Each structure stands twice: as C-alpha cells, then as structure tokens.
Chain A
Amino acid sequence: MASDLSGRVALVTGGTRGIGRAIVLALAGAGATVFVGGRSAEAVEAMIAGSAVADRLHPLPFDVADPAAVKAAFMALQKQAGRLDILVNSAGVLKDAVIEMTSTGLMAETLATNLTGTLTCCQYAVRLMGRAGGGSIINLTSIIGRVGYPGHTAYGAAKAGVIGLTISLAREVGGRGIRVNAVAPGTIETDMTAGIPDDKRAALVERIALGRTGQPEDVAPLVLFLAGDGARYISGQVIGVDGAMAM
C-alpha cells in the first residue's frame, strides 16, 4: 500500500547520508514536508540542493547528542511548520572497539548519539505530536541490538536501548494516537559500513540468506510504510530489514 503523506510534516535526524537520506527522499516523494537533520549545516544544505524534491525539504542542522541543540531545533521546527507528524531517528555512529579498548569517550559518544539523542528527540516529538492528535515515530536500531556482535558492545548496548525505549514509549503514548516502532537493519552499504575489509564483508554476505548486503533504498520503504496510515494499527514493533541475516 503506497503511503500518501501530503500535508504531513516529518523530521529525519541523520538525513544527510546513507539510510537517513534514502528515508528523506522516500517521505518527500510521498508528499511529506521533510526537515533534514545532521550535524553539519553545509552537508544538510548540500543534500537538499542535490535532491529532486528540494522544494519539500527544509534544513534543520543540529547535534542530537546536545540536549540544548535538540530543544532549539524542535522549537524552530514548531515555529516554521506548526506541527510534527513523523519523526525518524536515523542519526547514529558506529566505531568498532573491543571491550578493553572502549574508551570512556567512545562509550559516551556512542550512547549520547545513538541512545540519549533518540530519547531526547522522542521527548520533544511526543509533545508536538500530542498537540496534533497523533503521529508516528520510527527509530533506527540494528540487528546488533538484537543478537550482538563482537567489538560492538557499546553500540549494541545503545541499539538494544533503542529497542527498550521504543516498546515502552509505544505503550505510554499510544493513547495519544502516537505510534512508535523500530527498524533493525542488517548490513547496509553506507559510509558506516564502507570500512569493512573485503574478507570480512565476504564472510558477512555468506550469513545473509538473500545473498547480498542491503542498500539504503532497501530500508526506506519499510520506514515509509510505518510512517503512513497503512500502519495505523502497528506500534511497539521491532522489524528487521536484513535479508535474513544470521550474525
């Protein structure tokens, strides 16, 4: 079922590259007005300028790990658009480190961006969506948050945390017409996974039943569906997009 999102207002954090960018294009393609997040104002502007749906995109650069910046961004969004219907939390960072070499700084950055940043954005989104009578929140978690992976303890903790927040928040705000779901990609070809060495990549592909890694455009259709009315009775779910991958 194709989603018609005309008249809806969306915010996609981490919308400049990779999965977030594909989601921005899919939502705008379905008619939504989309605010594009990312830390760098130049990257946000460049992404918008290079898109075929630039007239439906608005820059909203902010760092999700900075609570004051998140607050200012939601305030600016409310002033500009007057409402929020869809929030996609796609901003994320992944840095490999075995447990012994997971520095305090790496731990803090990983949790602040992937987990606390998502939680803070959800906090403001719920308030704006509550005013509009409902909405849809989609959080990017990961297969690693469900089944784990060596060298990804901090990231796995953050992504498992995103699952926990998704299912609890779905229960808390369902009465206000707000749905909250999580999408758990497997290995998707983006800057985040570009550094995987060839031998490791080949081993990963062997674990994927569909025989290939994913593209951002493989993830976006699910997010588009969850954002729209076709998913009106779906909340509190964690849905994998991993080609039937076994870690």
Chain B
Amino acid sequence: MKSLAEVFAESLMIDAASVVDSLAYQSIKEWDSVAHMVLVTALEDNFDIMLDADDIVAMSSVAKVRAILAKYDITA
C-alpha cells in the first residue's frame, strides 16, 4: 500500500515534498477537477474503499482527505 503522500504525488503529478496538509484543492494548477477524480480513483484503489459524492466534495485539502480516510478507519 502506498502512503497518502505518494498517492497524491502520483495522481496530481507533483513532487511528494509538496504534499503538505495545507495543500488545497484548486490552489495549484495540477489539482484541478480532472486530477481530483484521478485522485479519487487512486485513493479507492490504494486503500480499498469507495468514496461517496459527499466525500469527494469535502476533499478540499490534504488534511481533509486524511480526515475522510479516518472515517474509513484508515490512518494515512
């Protein structure tokens, strides 16, 4: 299983070092709505979960994604 930072880095095609908790959706050009859905699929595959629309909408930052994963008992 990859780490959350690795999943982010691969999905958004950014450097793992720039995956910090405060990184926000649409704050960088790499995290647009298309990349957001790539990220969703990658998270689902990596952590073996299915996210619902409310989760996908709420994934507004790395910290928020971490909190959503915690709902599924995943510490990332």
**Are both chains from one complex?**
yes
User: Which positions in A face B, CB cutoff 8 Å?
Assistant: 67, 71, 74-75, 78, 123-124, 127, 130-131
Q: In the complex, what distance in Å separates the CA atom of A74 from the CA atom of B53?
A: 13
Q: Interface size of B by Cβ–Cβ distance < 8 Å?
A: 7
Which chain B residue has the least Cβ–Cβ distance from A76? Answer: B50
The answer to whether B52 has its CB under 8 Å from any CB of chain A is yes
Determine chain B's interface SS by DSSP, over half rule. helix
The answer to whether B41 has its CB under 8 Å from any CB of chain A is yes
Binary flags per residue of B44-57, CB closer than 8 Å to A gives 1, else 0? 00000110110000
Central interface residue in B37, B50, B52, B53, by most chain A CB within 10 Å: B50
Does A67 lie within 8 Å of B50, measured CB to CB? Answer: no
Q: Which residues of A contact B37 (CB under 8 A)?
A: 130
User: Which positions in B face A, CB cutoff 8 Å?
Assistant: 37, 40-41, 49-50, 52-53
Q: Which of B40, B41, B52 contacts A71 (CB 8 A)?
A: B52
Does A75 lie within 8 Å of B50, measured CB to CB? Answer: yes
Q: How close is B55's CB to chain A, nearest CB, in angstroms?
A: 10
Does A131 lie within 8 Å of B50, measured CB to CB? Answer: no
Q: Which residues of A contact B53 (CB under 8 A)?
A: 123
Does B41 lie within 8 Å of A78, measured CB to CB? Answer: no
Q: Which residues of B contact A71 (CB under 8 A)?
A: 50, 52
Does A67 lie within 8 Å of B52, measured CB to CB? Answer: yes
Q: Which residues of B contact A123 (CB under 8 A)?
A: 53
Q: In the complex, what distance in Å separates the CA atom of A74 from the CA atom of B52?
A: 11
Known: A124-B50, A127-B40. 11 other contacts (CB 8 A): A67-B52, A71-B50, A71-B52, A74-B50, A75-B49, A75-B50, A78-B50, A123-B53, A127-B41, A130-B37, A131-B41
Q: How close is A74's CB to chain B, nearest CB, in angstroms?
A: 6
- 10 closest Cβ pairs, A-B complex: A75-B50, A71-B52, A71-B50, A123-B53, A74-B50, A131-B41, A78-B50, A67-B52, A124-B50, A127-B41
Q: Which residues of B contact A75 (CB under 8 A)?
A: 49-50
Q: In the complex, what distance in Å separates the CA atom of A127 from the CA atom of B52?
A: 10
